[in-house]
Structure 1
Amino acid sequence: MKTDVGEASLYEKNIVLYGPPGTGKTYYTVIYAVAIIENTTLEKLRAEPYEEVLSRYTVYKKEGQVAFTTFHQSFGYEEFIEGIKPVLDDEVSDQVRYKIEPGIFKQLCEQAQQLEISSLIPNQSFSTDTRIWKVSLGRRENVQTKRDCFENNYIRIGWDDLGANIADETEFPNTSVKKIISDFYDEMSIGDIVLSLGDQKHIDAIGIIKGEPEWLEQVDYYKRSRKVEWIAKDIWEDVYKSNQQTNLTLATVYELKKINREEINQLILRYAENKRDDLEIEENKKKYVFIIDEINRGNISKILGELITLIEPTKRLGAPEQMKVQLPYSKSEFGVPQNVYIIGTMNTADRSIALMDTALRRRFRFIEMMPNLQVLEGINVEGIDIQKMVDTINKRIEVLFDREHTIGHAYFLNLKKEPTMANLAGIFENAIIPLLQEYFYEDYSKIQLILGDNAKANNLKFILDTPVQMDNIFKAIPDVDLPESKYCIQKSAFQDSQSYIGIYE
């Protein structure tokens, strides 16, 4: 059989690769992810050495374009979308506070929505992990500080009495000051967006952080600064609705976690049209891939929640029927971007495809991946035709069980590099026999049929059966059904080539 991974499904938003164990589903997620990101074909990547494709996949994963997780019964909405999690206040205190943390999928979606910001100045780069901050530039009655910031391309904050070097400071006036200074120095990054406070509902400037924190000795006050590239100054934009109908506060610096990134992106793009001096700002054209291994092992309703609707191509951001939901913890609006692709894998031996969550089946394209025995052609271990042996085993499994529980080619691929009896014996003893035990609930008579042991001499049987001598075990034969034979795994058979040849001859 040939693995069916058709090109037509490559750029669909949601796909699931499903099939028996060992058919290369997880292996193929690497090829799929790279093909999607590079906008190329599967055939082209198959022609390349897998190590080269994997190397590029690792780079994309490191850069945040690929995320990988495995579903299981304990995995939930809090890990996938967002949840409230306990954190320690600092390294020396054992006080616990609770923080709303984005889940792994939400983080990828947020990154996929970030603007592409690149500098036209050589040797100047920007962070890709963009966050949005609100800054108050001086007191309301002190317009000079704000004018100075606008004219000299930076932002400034105070608490000058704490000194230029705050790394060793252990005492702050209060926890809010500590949080503000920590955000300014440690959390705010080059490439982040800053919105200057106008009033509770409006901003009067938009900028992008260009430098690390500096101490301005030449100014009289508000000496802590960061270089900023102002995209727009002296504007008056209402962000009340974009900020989930929440007023901006006077706090000097804080992250706007509720703000609608898509709307702020459009605002930045509108003003950036007339500003192309040092920066190039455009919508994110990169593709992002989220891989879910063992997707059928998780509780889909518990993990995805309302996301089950949002992942539909017609319900994604920018689609004619786009949908957003208000998340239960952060109360922020959330939607799935068009440039996010979801690839799942499903082992049909774990759970039948017929039992899969119906809501999930309707929203994913399912691609079957069956054993591809052509890749085993030519592998010979001491006269054993591996391709023929596996083909025979799978034909018997289809008759005694079903095709969803056949054995994948991946179990035997290592024999290409190391075609030894010791390697083959290890594969059978540690993988194939345990798998058959699980399939047939330790019904060893059926396992014997699968391995052809019913027609072999005793010394060649993997599963050795010996008659049960009832008279030697019981004082009287009980009036119940008793097994006529007992079974044991004969380890010496794993080292004999005739035991394997006897499977198919």
Structure 2
Amino acid sequence: MKNQVNEYIDTYKNALINSKNVIFHGAPGTGKTYLAKQVATSIISNGEFDDYTRLDKETQQQIEFVQFHPSYDYTDFVEGLRPKQDADGSMGFELRMGNFTNFVAKAQKNFDDAQKSKLELEKEVSVEDMIMQFFATLESDEIKLTIMTGREFYITKRDEQRIYVSIPGNTITDKLILSLNDLRAMLQAKQTFERVKDVTEFFGKLNATQGYSYILAIYKAIKEQTIQPDTSGIKRVALKPYVFIIDEINRGEVAKIFGELFFAIDPGYRGRAGAVATQYANLHEDPEKKFSIPANLYIIGTMNDIDRSVGVFDFAMHRRFRFIEIASDTRLAMLADLDEGKREQAIKKLTALNQVINGVAELGRNYQIGPAYFLNLKQLTFDQLWTGYLQPVLAEYVRGMYNEQAIMEQFANAYGYPELEQSDADENSEG
């Protein structure tokens, strides 16, 4: 049974690796979401196992899970403006990245780092150590520096992307926000910066901005530090796969949620060839930088075929995703943990019930019952499973049909509800 499960997972894993984007679709209860996690885990662990809980916390970061719903939108997925309270208590807005964008950034960093030499990685670590050492004093006090004209300024705060500067006595502006990535790029560069002109030319600008004078002063202060970064443990970075799972993908307005990223996810346009400008690009630290999806990122979507919102999928969606049906009779391995007798009985009831469902003209295979429902038999009897889970679902299927009561009786008979009591069964066998 275990080998069969492994082969089953490998089939879908290979489909995802080859296609980049897949959607598992089928009847309810076929374990599509669970299968998506199994496939993702198998890819991340290089086939060692398919149980997500066995991944350590660091490796789990290579898998992200979201669920679409009618109110889920572009700002949740890609980027959007969110309210923010400033230090003085006033309210404003800031640009925040969405779930998908943040996850892509992790995959992109790994992809980029995997292309770098050991020497390049050592240089990056050295620069990060220098930056951390310099800004360490910010925890207790502001940092006072001077630009080339003699004007004093203070570094008051920094975050992952920005350096906040206060300039007392400046009549034009007494506050500036500088780019930490610009500073990082200067420190990693092979050249030395002595004048503002050097900075301007390095960033390919015709004219210097006010911020260049201040970032040059910070650069020089950091270079004057006498620290010896430890790069002894630096190794080449291995390229890793990252898997993004979208549960119930058809419950959201896919075109609006993805926006311009719908082009970038196309398997044929991965990487810089599919780079696009996002809706809030003008608010980015570098407005000219475009968004792309690296080759080491994979997307799995799941959906129920009976969901009426399936109609939102057009040809563009089918061109970007490979649709793979997860049929009920291919997922019987899900019942492996039931004891043998109960498992055999469950498969028999499931098969008989689905045969009747297939025979109802208004229903068919999309409305079949999946084996996931029968996992409740670990706690319930077959009758309890019928009344608590299966009957309500089936009643919803046939609601409004002219012969719904007769159809429900056919379903119950096929399933074998109600079960005969043992004494009744004995009497029938004697008669």
Shift of 1:27: 0.8
What residue in structure 1 maps to residue 243 of structure 2?
289
- The residue correspondences of 1:86-485 to structure 2 (distance < 5 A) are 86-89=83-86, 93=89, 95-114=90-109, 115-116=112-113, 156=134, 165-166=140-141, 181-183=156-158, 195-196=182-183, 204-206=186-188, 232=190, 234=192, 238=201, 240=203, 249-250=211-212, 278=232, 280=234, 285-318=239-272, 322-331=273-282, 332=287, 333-351=290-308, 356-371=313-328, 372-373=331-332, 375-376=334-335, 379-381=340-342, 385-400=345-360, 401-415=363-377, 417-418=378-379, 421=381, 424-441=382-399, 443-452=404-413
**8 A contact 1:157–1:252 mirrored in 2:** no
Output the CA distance in 2 between the equivalents of 1:324 and 1:425. Answer: 56
Shift of 1:358: 2.4
Output the CA distance in 2 between the equivalents of 1:246 and 1:431. Answer: 68
Encode CA deviations 1:246-280: one digit per residue, 9 max, x unaligned. Answer: 95724857xxxxxxxxxxxxxxxxxxxxx996574
Secondary structure of the residue that 2:271 maps to in structure 1? coil
Output the CA distance in 2 between the equivalents of 1:110 and 1:185. Answer: 14
Which consecutive residues of structure 2, in runs of 5 or more, have no partner in the other structure?
Answer: 143-152, 164-178, 216-228, 426-431
Output the CA distance in 2 between the equivalents of 1:315 and 1:292. Answer: 20
Shift of 1:116: 4.0
Provide closer, same or farther for how the CA distance between residues 97 and 409 of structure 1 changes in structure 2, counting only shifts above 3 A: same
**8 A contact 2:376–2:385 mirrored in 1:** no
Paired residue total:
350
The one-letter amino acid paired with 1:347 is N
Shift of 1:368: 1.2
Structure 1 or 2, whichever has the larger Rg, is 1
**8 A contact 1:425–1:495 mirrored in 2:** no
Output the CA distance in 2 between the equivalents of 1:165 and 1:38. Answer: 43
Output the CA distance in 1 between the equivalents of 2:83 and 2:24. Answer: 36
Identity of aligned residues (%): 27
**8 A contact 1:33–1:57 mirrored in 2:** no
Shift of 1:341: 0.7
Secondary structure of the residue that 1:452 maps to in structure 2? helix
What residue in structure 2 maps to residue 24 of structure 1?
31
Provide closer, same or farther for how the CA distance between residues 97 and 498 of structure 1 changes in structure 2, counting only shifts above 3 A: farther
Determine which of 70, 75, 78 is the counterpart of 1:73. Answer: 70
What residue in structure 2 maps to residue 15 of structure 1?
22
Encode CA deviations 1:403-437: one digit per residue, 9 max, x unaligned. Answer: 0110111111243x45x52xx34422222112112
Provide closer, same or farther for how the CA distance between residues 357 and 248 of structure 1 changes in structure 2, counting only shifts above 3 A: farther
Output the CA distance in 2 between the equivalents of 1:249 and 1:435. Answer: 63
**8 A contact 2:80–2:95 mirrored in 1:** yes
- Larger RCO (alpha carbons 8 Å, 6+ apart): 2
**8 A contact 1:20–1:370 mirrored in 2:** yes
Shift of 1:305: 1.1
**8 A contact 1:73–1:298 mirrored in 2:** yes
**8 A contact 1:113–1:284 mirrored in 2:** no
What residue in structure 2 maps to residue 227 of structure 1?
none
Output the CA distance in 2 between the equivalents of 1:184 and 1:59. Answer: 23
Per residue, is there more strand in 1 or in 2? Answer: 1
Secondary structure of the residue that 2:301 maps to in structure 1? strand
Secondary structure of the residue that 1:362 maps to in structure 2? helix
Shift of 1:68: 0.8
Check if 1:38 corresponds to 2:25. no
The one-letter amino acid paired with 2:102 is Q
Output the CA distance in 1 between the equivalents of 2:212 and 2:350. Answer: 71
Shift of 1:72: 0.9
Provide closer, same or farther for how the CA distance between residues 450 and 57 of structure 1 changes in structure 2, counting only shifts above 3 A: farther
Provide closer, same or farther for how the CA distance between residues 153 and 353 of structure 1 changes in structure 2, counting only shifts above 3 A: closer
Output the CA distance in 1 between the equivalents of 2:392 and 2:424. Answer: 17
Encode CA deviations 1:274-322: one digit per residue, 9 max, x unaligned. Answer: x99657475672211111000111101110111111111221115xxx1
**8 A contact 2:13–2:39 mirrored in 1:** no
**8 A contact 1:37–1:287 mirrored in 2:** yes
Secondary structure of the residue that 1:45 maps to in structure 2? coil
Output the CA distance in 1 between the equivalents of 2:57 and 2:387. Answer: 33
The one-letter amino acid paired with 1:346 is M
Structure 1 vs Structure 2 CA RMSD: 4.6
Provide closer, same or farther for how the CA distance between residues 77 and 45 of structure 1 changes in structure 2, counting only shifts above 3 A: same
Secondary structure of the residue that 2:36 maps to in structure 1? helix
Encode CA deviations 1:425-483: one digit per residue, 9 max, x unaligned. Answer: 44222221121122112633322222228xx9xxx9x6xxxxxxxxxxxxxxxxxxxxx
Provide closer, same or farther for how the CA distance between residues 499 and 205 of structure 1 changes in structure 2, counting only shifts above 3 A: farther
Output the CA distance in 2 between the equivalents of 1:154 and 1:343. Answer: 38
The one-letter amino acid paired with 1:65 is Q
Output the CA distance in 1 between the equivalents of 2:424 and 2:267. Answer: 53
The one-letter amino acid paired with 2:408 is I
Provide closer, same or farther for how the CA distance between residues 406 and 186 of structure 1 changes in structure 2, counting only shifts above 3 A: same
**Normalized against structure 1, the TM-score is what?**
0.58
Output the CA distance in 2 between the equivalents of 1:303 and 1:434. Answer: 32
Provide closer, same or farther for how the CA distance between residues 84 and 153 of structure 1 changes in structure 2, counting only shifts above 3 A: closer
Per residue, is there more helix in 1 or in 2? Answer: 2
Shift of 1:74: 0.7
